[in-house]
A and B are shown apart, each in its own frame.
Chain A
Amino acid sequence: MSQTDLEIVVDDPTAPEDDSPSVVSSGTVEIFVCLLLLALAVTLGYDNWRTGASWDSTGPEPGYFPFYLSVILGGGSLYGLIVALLARRAASGTFVTRAQARRVMAVFVPTLLFCLVMQFLGLYVASFLLISGFMRFVGKIALWKSLLTAVVFTAIMFVTFDVAFDVIMPKGPLEAAFGR
């Protein structure tokens, strides 16, 4: 089939380079995650033991079931830690390259800011800022397209959730000014 038959082509000008250096290996992240899970298992296990992890006259105490689950989680994490440490001697794959990490942060940081801004300006204003800002600065899409898309999408969300389905969302000063 010739190339002219291909009708849908979408380019990605900001695609991560193939030869980008590794930031961290999968083995290292696995060790870190297992250590975190082990610490979580110990913390939750201690809390359940403190709540009561044995039997009283009415049956198993509230911490009984979760205490043993903490033990299982701790055991699994410890085993995972040993496996990851042993496997580390062998070649370990890349968890994320520098170019990939940059792209992940380009989504994560705006999402984090969106959650922060939502607390003060409400969901709809924060949504407008996220969509227009992301399209303009990350996607390099024309300003008018970014603003229009953000306005239309936010309006659809407002009408769908707040008006049609009566699902109350966090509001800010703008909605208050319009009496909502």
Chain B
Amino acid sequence: MEAFGLLLHGFAVLLTWKTLVLMMVGLVLGIFVGVLPGLGGPNGVAILLPLTFTMDPTSAIVMLSCIYWGALFGGAITSILFNIPGEAWSVATTFDGYPMAQQGRAAEALTAAFTSSFIGSLVAVLLITFLAPMISSFALKFGPPEFFAVYLLTFCSFVGLGREAKHKTVISMSLGLLLAGIGMDTVSGNLRMTFGSPELLRGINFLVAVIGLFGISEILLTMEERLALRGHAASISLRVVLGVWKDLPKYWATLLRSSFIGCWLGITPGGAIAASFMGYNLAKRFAKDPESFGKGRIEGVFAPETAAHASGTSALLPMLALGIPGSGTAAILLGGLMVWGLNPGPLLFVEHKDFVWGLIASMYLGNVVGLVLVLTTVPIFASILRVPFAAVAPMIVVSCAIGAYAIQNAMFDIWLMLGFGIVGYVFKKIGIPLAPFTLALVLGNRAEDAFRLSMIGSGGDLKVFWSNGLVGSITTLAIVLLFWPVIDGVLSRVGWTQRTRATSRQA
């Protein structure tokens, strides 16, 4: 009940004209970046972050999070109408969404996508509302070893559970952690890895890196491809919306299952991509006629969209409660909090109640407003795709440069952004994942501080990470996840996994 009271307080903070206007601006910008090829949630948030530097933290985070919700909604438009997944998590939506559009059911598919996005986000926001305060009050008991163990768990789960080649994830993560260490050592004040360059004294700002890695590299990659589009135009009538909503109770199991999968994979760093595919595959597996999937079945839109949005939203839970982002976009939002002088983690709930509950309230309101906005403006946003990419690309480059420069008012950052753009382009093409790099760059200094404080406290004894049940469990779980592919292989070899699967099927 305490959470409910605090949430009402959050709505009181939120319901000012200024914040509501910023919310609308954020949503429109978000849908815009979601629809445009070559942009997406993380890029949009990173590029538009400088707009918020002069705002108060609550207004700023409301606008940024609304850009995020908007981008999540916008991705479905291109997936369904043009068979172009704006984001990797929209790929599964194209399987049935595009066939529905081809059958003349584009409005139905879009309504299903937006509605299920809303449901997925709503379930995740409810989870955040009631779980985040509990986790953060529990985390207040954490010391440096516990925090380092949680960081280790995050890093190890990326390596162990990621789809990419393990050594590539390790390369990406260690490179991010190393770059985070450039500049002044926060504990001793000594300079490291600066090679006498005064520009490197400040260190590498992760937002500059993110703008280059995601913004510039995405432009280069998009340009590489054929940019011809051929798709459907659609407008959504009230009759179609009410028709889809009337049938929603029929799909309660799909929606619930996908929400659960999404929340789970959002809190653990499994991500929205894995969630959308898992949601789709499970909907197909549990269906009476799985062969009808891929031919324009509405459940094939409900399942991945619900899971992806539940995942994208719940990724904010560990960010708010522990200061550990569950996704690339959450990492960028976390960077934004640091820019405004807020320290993400358990203390945020104690020291900045207005901010936290204003943000959570904006998640509810932003999703409702976002749903209404996309349902009523689809034709306008779909027509954005008529703008030639040759006009869009230089505008994105300019926005990226503005973003990179505004962070520290340094020309050197523009060059860094360009350098990271090349790195991002090459890494994406050879399969080195960028999400672990971003995460490591954000968390690097905090993880190192926690490690060093733990080591100083224990006199250099690594046993401190098993000194009590809590830290010991987290560290052990981290190691299990790191070696999960090996453990899974051994379990499969001895037949344990197959037996378990058979048993669960019988049950």
Q: Which residues of A contact B (CB under 8 A)?
A: 1, 5-12, 15-16, 26, 29-30, 33, 37, 40, 44, 47-48, 51-52, 55, 58-66, 69-70, 72-73, 75-77, 79-80, 83, 95-96, 100, 103-104, 106-108, 110-112, 114-115, 118-119, 123, 127, 130-131, 134-135, 138-141, 149, 153-154, 157, 160-161, 165-170
| Interchain CB contact (< 8 A) of A59 among B224, B226, B386, B460 | B460
Interface SS majority for chain B: helix
| Interchain CB contact (< 8 A) of A62 among B53, B188, B385 | B188
Contact yes or no, B430 A5, CB < 8 A: no
Q: List 10 extra interface pairs beyond A16-B224, A123-B401, CB under 8 A.
A: A7-B232, A8-B385, A12-B227, A33-B427, A37-B175, A60-B455, A134-B393, A138-B390, A139-B388, A157-B402
B297 sits at the interface (CB 8 A): no
Which residues of A have CB within 8 Å of B216? Answer: 111
Q: Give the tally of cross-chain contacts (CB within 8 A).
A: 215
| Interchain CB contact (< 8 A) of B382 among A8, A33, A47, A69 | A8
Q: Which residues of B contact A (CB under 8 A)?
A: 50-51, 53-54, 81-82, 102-104, 165, 167-168, 170-171, 174-175, 177-178, 181, 185, 187-188, 190-193, 195, 216, 219-220, 223-233, 382-383, 385-386, 388-391, 393-395, 397-399, 401-402, 405-406, 409, 411, 414-415, 418, 421-422, 425-427, 429-430, 432, 448, 451-452, 455-456, 460
| Interchain CB contact (< 8 A) of A26 among B230, B233, B430 | B430
A76 vs B82: C-alpha distance when bound (angstroms): 40
- Known contacts A115-B414, A123-B405; is-contact A167 B223 (Cβ 8 Å): no
Contact yes or no, B411 A59, CB < 8 A: no
Q: Across the two chains, which residue of chain A brings its CB closest to B456?
A: A59
A-B contact pairs, 13 of them (CB 8 A): A1-B103, A8-B82, A29-B430, A55-B460, A63-B192, A66-B192, A80-B167, A95-B429, A115-B401, A123-B401, A134-B394, A167-B402, A170-B405
Which residues of A have CB within 8 Å of B460? Answer: 55, 59-60
Contact yes or no, A62 B185, CB < 8 A: yes
- What is the CB-to-nearest-CB distance from A38 to chain B, in angstroms, rounded to a whole number? 10
- What is the CB-to-nearest-CB distance from A93 to chain B, in angstroms, rounded to a whole number? 10
A5 vs B181: C-alpha distance when bound (angstroms): 56
| Interchain CB contact (< 8 A) of B174 among A11, A60, A76 | A76
| Interchain CB contact (< 8 A) of B455 among A59, A75, A134 | A59
Contact yes or no, A1 B167, CB < 8 A: no
A9 vs B191: C-alpha distance when bound (angstroms): 56
- What is the CB-to-nearest-CB distance from B444 to chain A, in angstroms, rounded to a whole number? 9
Contact yes or no, A44 B53, CB < 8 A: no
Which residues of B have CB within 8 Å of A140? Answer: 390
Which residues of A have CB within 8 Å of B390? Answer: 134-135, 138-141
Which residues of B have CB within 8 Å of A62? Answer: 185, 187-188, 190, 192
- Known contacts A123-B401, A134-B390; is-contact A47 B195 (Cβ 8 Å): yes
Which residues of A have CB within 8 Å of B50? Answer: 161, 165, 167
- What is the CB-to-nearest-CB distance from B425 to chain A, in angstroms, rounded to a whole number? 8
Contact yes or no, A8 B232, CB < 8 A: yes
Contact yes or no, A100 B224, CB < 8 A: yes
- What is the CB-to-nearest-CB distance from A59 to chain B, in angstroms, rounded to a whole number? 4
- Known contacts A65-B448, A69-B174, A161-B50; is-contact A6 B231 (Cβ 8 Å): yes
- Known contacts A1-B104, A73-B175, A119-B411; is-contact A166 B54 (Cβ 8 Å): yes
| Interchain CB contact (< 8 A) of A141 among B227, B383, B388, B401 | B388
Which residues of B have CB within 8 Å of A77? Answer: 171
Q: Across the two chains, which residue of chain B brings its CB closest to A47?
A: B193
- Known contacts A1-B103, A107-B220, A110-B394; is-contact A10 B228 (Cβ 8 Å): yes
Q: Across the two chains, which residue of chain B brings its CB closest to A56?
A: B188
Contact yes or no, A66 B181, CB < 8 A: yes
Contact yes or no, B398 A131, CB < 8 A: yes
- What is the CB-to-nearest-CB distance from A40 to chain B, in angstroms, rounded to a whole number? 8
Contact yes or no, B386 A10, CB < 8 A: yes
| Interchain CB contact (< 8 A) of B398 among A5, A103, A153 | A153
